[in-house]
Chain A
Amino acid sequence: MVVISALFVQTFQMALVVLLAPLLTGFIRLIKARLLRRRGPSMIQPYHDILRLLRKEVVLAENASWLFRVTPYMIFAATWVAAAIIPTFATGLIFSWTADLIAIIALLGSARFFLALAGMDVGTSFGGIGSSREAMIATLAEPSMLLIIFTLALIAGSTQLSTIAAFMTSPQVGLRVSLAIALIALVMVAIAENARIPVDNPATHLELTMVHEAMVLEYSGRHLAMIELTASLKLLLYMSLIACMFVPWKLAVLGEGPAAYLVGMLAYLVKLAVGGALLALFETATAKMRVFRVPEFLGAALMLGLLATLLRFVSRSL
């Protein structure tokens, strides 16, 4: 019985992240539009977009290989699996031990690897430019992320997300310099990983500095739908990650019963809304930077990550 309810919660979470992801994207777009004093599309517009794309035929470039066709499903699945084991409304999910934080980030790295390859598959210079820049961003974002993980793991004594979240709710944690630095670095990495302003512009097309959109330029129809959905899912994943580690309040623990789950659920929605609003505000207030300024931005994240880890290595209380 316990196993069945645990499996149910896990399945529910899997469905939840996929269903909620486009809503978050729509919400951010709406807030951004309102901040620009536009009316903006409805919050559920991304669902319409994805459904319409799914129903359309795929126009495939003549020399695209099987890799190009498989990649959308593969990256979607990898991101989905990663998102499904991150605590959103409850910790201690039945499969949460399948992958720790390092493995989750590496799984996203696998997705990126294949997307970058797909960008090079058709053999156009746009695809190449996107892939090579994505690779450059990844070479800085991944080590920064790992150093952030080191910091959190050393504070919580674990790389297991459920354990970290549980530790962060306990009174042992207190205010720490290293945590604050890690949070800043994590937000910077998350912005870069999700191709948001100021690193990349998710709304752009035909712009010489674009990265993510250049990689996926040749995609259409259902393939494009999967890619759009993956991008939304990744954004949701990073927000959930930040939420479960830095604001783990009201997170339910597996087996606490429906009431706790409901509270956890409401808290999760509030956290997402606040996070989304902050992201929209930030994106409206900043301009996109030149592509070769990105290494400086991410280099700062890397240094912050290193500083936070160093603090943990030299002192137990910082």
Chain B
Amino acid sequence: MTPVPVLLTCEAGLLGTAVLAVLIARSNRSTPVVYGASLIFCTIAFATALAYLATGLPSTDAPVLVLPIGLPWLGSHFRLDALAAFFLTVINLGGVLSSIYALGYGRHEQTTHRVLPFFPAFLAGMNLVILADDAFTFLISWEFMSLASWALVMAHHHDARNLKAGYFFIVMASFGTLALLLAFSLLAGLSGDYGFTAMRISEHTPLTAGLVLVLLLLGAGSKAGLVPLHVWLPLAHPAAPSHVSALMSGVMTKVAVYGFIRVVFDLLGMPAWWSGIVVLIIGSGTAVLGILQALMESDLKRLLAYSTIENIGVIFVSLGLALAFKANGMGLAAALALTAALFHVLNHSFFKSLLFFGAGAVLTATGEGDMDKLGGLIHRMPVTSVVFLVGCVAISALPPFNGFVSEWLAFQAILQSPTVPQWGLKILVPAVGGLLALSAALAAACFVKAFGVTFLGRPRSTVAEQAVEVDRFSLSAMSVLAALCLLAGILPGIIIDGLAPVTLSLIGERMPVQTDIPWLSIVPVAESRSSYNGLLVFLFTLFSASLTAYLIHRFASRWLRRAPAWDCGFPEISPATQYTAGSFAQPIRRVFGTLAFRVRESVDMPAPGDLRPARFAVETHDLIWEGLYLPITGAVGFAAEKLNHLQFLTIRRYLSLVFLALVFLLLVLALWS
């Protein structure tokens, strides 16, 4: 059976589930029915896509299906090639796990009729974007995905912050779709053929290609959260219920990455060398700024959303390298960089979903998302804390977990770049490498903070003191993701080989076959240059730790006494004396914040004998918001104010305005011809 009809049947099933959900949303049974159905359809779609990817067929005979719906002269084209199959795997795996998670988590939902219909619709929308093979279907699905996720963001619309988030979201989503629409019109050219097949074979002038790249960075970038189009993301992603946040951060941003790759690597033909520079600069800036903002954050879900921005930056850095290498005909290096990007796409979908699920579990257990009111949850939620810890280590790019592998591949790609001929790239790439390393180090600090403040220490509130572990569905979804983080970290060769058909179809080269290498190491170019074996590192570390612990307990001492904390002899009674999210980030804020956020700290210390309280205030500025968005909103507001007068004119004036407009248009027409 060919895979495309199977996949489309799954999407139809998801859409049917959405319709069904509208009808039954208010009944008690609706939650298991809807999430169960989503689970089944996503599992089938996941298996189909993975099976297709595993066959490794070349993209020349990718299965195509045309349905007679949509524009009459175009129809709807659907196609499954290696790139689409990879992204479908990522999306549907996310769908499967968030459905499982929601079977438990969704029971706490108060307004089920605002969540249930949109959840399967959202999944179907994302799947259809990937399957689309013409611009019309692509844009319709894209918009459908945006609107479904918008509805999910607005699920708890009584909260004023969520209203604001929804407003931002819809404005940025419309802007993004507009940019994509323009990009596709440019690609279709004067012939106006909106099929991807036609775009792929037609020649594009350098000007068109440049414009399309910029429009793609605006359109797909605003959905993915590239700086400076990221402002909606940290508002919107946390506003949705946690299983949807996981999908939005872990999966929907990947759909945007897919859109970028599909157009820039596939439809646009050979890239110009400077396109690599643009993408590298935007990507590295996004990575560093995203993680710095995450560090300043004290709300767990918002911290995770900012960290998504960082990871998108990391992905775009690798994509920029791939573009630069491809433009210079360095096929192997381009394949390496693209593999790094796609590997990170997969990794991020694993650990970001895991972390959002964990944040959701904390929310369920305590009703509190502010880290400064949590603490000590490791005692109360043992399983959640372990899997959340795995997610934290993985996202901080530390071995032996998966985040390190993709980061390592990106570094190996950077080391390939001194041979590029352009001076701009030669000077830029080392700086980008430094920024990538900086963002990885900041990510580690950020997630020490996230885990340390939330799960370690003493509880800072009664809700944290009385938290209980969450249900089994949530725990099993998180455990599967944690296991995947470890497996992808210790057996990366399998995934790299799985990505080979994608790089073959987009670049024409692939990385060396990894699964033949002894001991399951990974070797990007040659073993004498670099190799890494996560499995052995993991086993060696585990073995040495166990051996040491065993020997010490056997031969030295095993006595243990519980006592009050030593704390240098000055025990602090109140849990409020612990380090909070803000105080943990203070040294880093001092180092980087003065530049990135124009942080001003002011201390008001009363003189001895003065009885007023001392005060400490921190003032931060979001420079992008103040420098870019406020002027735009100001200008729009000003124009609206001025145009407002037009609303209150007499009928005579309206008629004369219409007359003048008509004369003006006729004049333009006359002059044009």
Contacts and interface: CB of A to CB of B under 8 A. Distances in A.
> Do most interface residues of chain B lie in helix, strand or loop, or is the interface mixed?
helix
Contacts of B586: 132
Interface residues of A, number: 86
Contact of A62 (B398, B542, B563, B590): B563
Contacts of A100: 530-532
B559 interface: yes
B456 A313 contact: no
Given A113-B444, A117-B451, A117-B456, A135 B560 contact: no
Nearest to B401: A110
Given A62-B565, A77-B541, A124 B456 contact: no
Q: How large is the interface on B (under 10, 10 to 19, 20 to 34, 35 or more residues)?
A: 35 or more
A189 to B, nearest CB: 12
Interface in B556-603: 556-557, 559-568, 571-572, 575, 577-579, 583-588, 590-592
Contacts of B431: 306, 310
A63 B128 CA distance: 50
Contact of A99 (B448, B458, B533, B591): B533
Contacts of B415: 150, 153-154, 159
Given A57-B557, A57-B559, A217-B566, A99 B452 contact: no
A135 B456 contact: no
A204 to B, nearest CB: 12
A28 interface: no
A158 B579 contact: no
Contacts of B453: 120
A275 B627 CA distance: 51
B541 to A, nearest CB: 5
Interface in A87-140: 95, 97-100, 102-103, 106-107, 109-110, 112-113, 116-117, 120-129, 131-133, 135-136, 138-140
Contact of A73 (B448, B521, B548): B548
B395 to A, nearest CB: 11
A127 B565 CA distance: 11
Contact of B532 (A59, A99, A150): A99
Contacts of A113: 393, 396, 398, 444, 447-448
A208 to B, nearest CB: 11
Contacts of A136: 445, 587-588, 591
B376 interface: yes
Nearest to A124: B567
B630 interface: no
A59 B536 CA distance: 34
Nearest to A114: B393
Interface of B: 375-376, 378-379, 389, 393, 396-399, 404, 408, 411-412, 414-415, 417-418, 423, 426-427, 429-431, 433-435, 437-438, 440-442, 444-445, 447-449, 451-453, 456-458, 521, 527-533, 536-537, 540-546, 548-549, 552, 556-557, 559-568, 571-572, 575, 577-579, 583-588, 590-592
18 contacts: A60-B563, A74-B545, A99-B532, A99-B537, A116-B452, A117-B452, A120-B448, A129-B579, A138-B445, A139-B444, A147-B437, A150-B430, A154-B415, A159-B415, A163-B528, A163-B529, A217-B567, A220-B566
Top 6 nearest A-B pairs by Cβ distance? A128-B579, A123-B457, A57-B559, A120-B452, A77-B545, A136-B587
Interface of A: 54-63, 65-67, 70, 73-74, 76-78, 80-81, 84, 95, 97-100, 102-103, 106-107, 109-110, 112-113, 116-117, 120-129, 131-133, 135-136, 138-143, 146-147, 150, 153-154, 157-160, 163, 206, 217-218, 220-222, 226, 291-292, 295, 302, 305-306, 309-310, 312-314
